[in-house]
Homo-oligomer: A and B are copies of this chain.
């Protein structure tokens, strides 16, 4: 006899911890919990840890596995079509057939995706992108990642490299090299790392005082705090990062003209001060037709991954 599948599971598999969430099909988060990521022996127990924890939790909550429509899982690394992960540095994985291995551990259907792309889907489902079908999420952290959603579906890219916003060649005058080996990637100019680099550069040659003078352990967070307090140098740093972000976003619009941009990740927590500058430079650089594109801050923060993973199940 067929039972209705009322729930779905979203899992955000990170290098330190694994976030898991139980959702109603409607998008309501009912329960969430974490387990540690066991990276011993190249992370060979990670998948069985996940299923053990899931079974235990379902048992506690008195939910039959047959009521679960599927398990979605976001992985920190590239994922090919069939749920195969060629490499995940953060997990110590090489050539792990995630979907295939999970099939041996559970009868519940599984979907696997890249974590940044999955987070974009989460924001579309229940975050700042709710109500939109085409969006680009830009995750501003130590690096810059992204996810592109067209027609409510993740765009994976031929080589799995769609949404690699951080490596768009944006600054042709850049002299230093990016981690990827190229020069002038967006990530160099607008990531947390890039913001700190630029602040240090300006501090070295500044002829005026800054709240950041004598700061030994400079972080992007401190730059934003100084900017909010009115510091001139910190504001110059943020304006420069916003300029390159605005240019990159105008380029993105030239390709897919999305309904909305969503800015997430640690750097985006700077909030309005960053958003205002990004909007200014986006408008300056984009074709007039698209000047009013919505640009929003992410809403789901650290939960975007579990939301998006659960949403994959409903595709």
Residues in A lying within 8 Å of B, measured CB to CB: 78, 134, 136, 148, 150-151, 153, 155-173, 180-182, 247-248, 250-259, 284-290, 293
Contact check, B155 vs A150: say whether CB atoms are below 8 A apart. Answer: yes
Contact check, B256 vs A148: say whether CB atoms are below 8 A apart. Answer: yes
Q: A130 to chain B: closest CB distance in Å?
A: 16
Contact check, A256 vs B155: say whether CB atoms are below 8 A apart. Answer: yes
Contact check, B247 vs A161: say whether CB atoms are below 8 A apart. Answer: no
Q: How far is the CA of A181 from the CA of B285 in the complex (A)?
A: 10
Q: How many copies of this chain does the complex contain?
A: 2
Contact check, A255 vs B252: say whether CB atoms are below 8 A apart. Answer: yes
Contact check, A164 vs B289: say whether CB atoms are below 8 A apart. Answer: yes
Q: Point out the residue from B148, B284, B288 that lies within 8 Å of A255, measured CB to CB.
A: B148
What is the chain B residue whose CB lies nearest that of A250?
A: B169
Chain B residues whose C-beta falls within 8 Å of the C-beta of A171 in the assembled complex? 172
Contact check, B247 vs A169: say whether CB atoms are below 8 A apart. Answer: yes
Q: How far is the CA of A164 from the CA of B250 in the complex (A)?
A: 11
Q: Point out the residue from B153, B162, B250 that lies within 8 Å of A257, measured CB to CB.
A: B162
Q: How far is the CA of A134 from the CA of B155 in the complex (A)?
A: 10
Contact check, B256 vs A290: say whether CB atoms are below 8 A apart. Answer: no
Contact check, B257 vs A172: say whether CB atoms are below 8 A apart. Answer: no
Q: Which one of A136, A167, A259 has the greatest number of beta carbons of chain B within 10 Å?
A: A167
Chain B residues whose C-beta falls within 8 Å of the C-beta of A156 in the assembled complex? 257
Q: A251 to chain B: closest CB distance in Å?
A: 5
What would be 29 A-B contacts, judged by CB atoms less than 8 Å apart? A148-B255, A148-B256, A150-B151, A151-B153, A155-B257, A156-B257, A157-B257, A158-B290, A159-B257, A159-B290, A159-B293, A160-B289, A161-B289, A163-B254, A164-B257, A164-B287, A164-B289, A165-B255, A166-B254, A168-B251, A168-B254, A169-B251, A169-B285, A171-B172, A172-B172, A173-B173, A180-B288, A248-B251, A252-B255
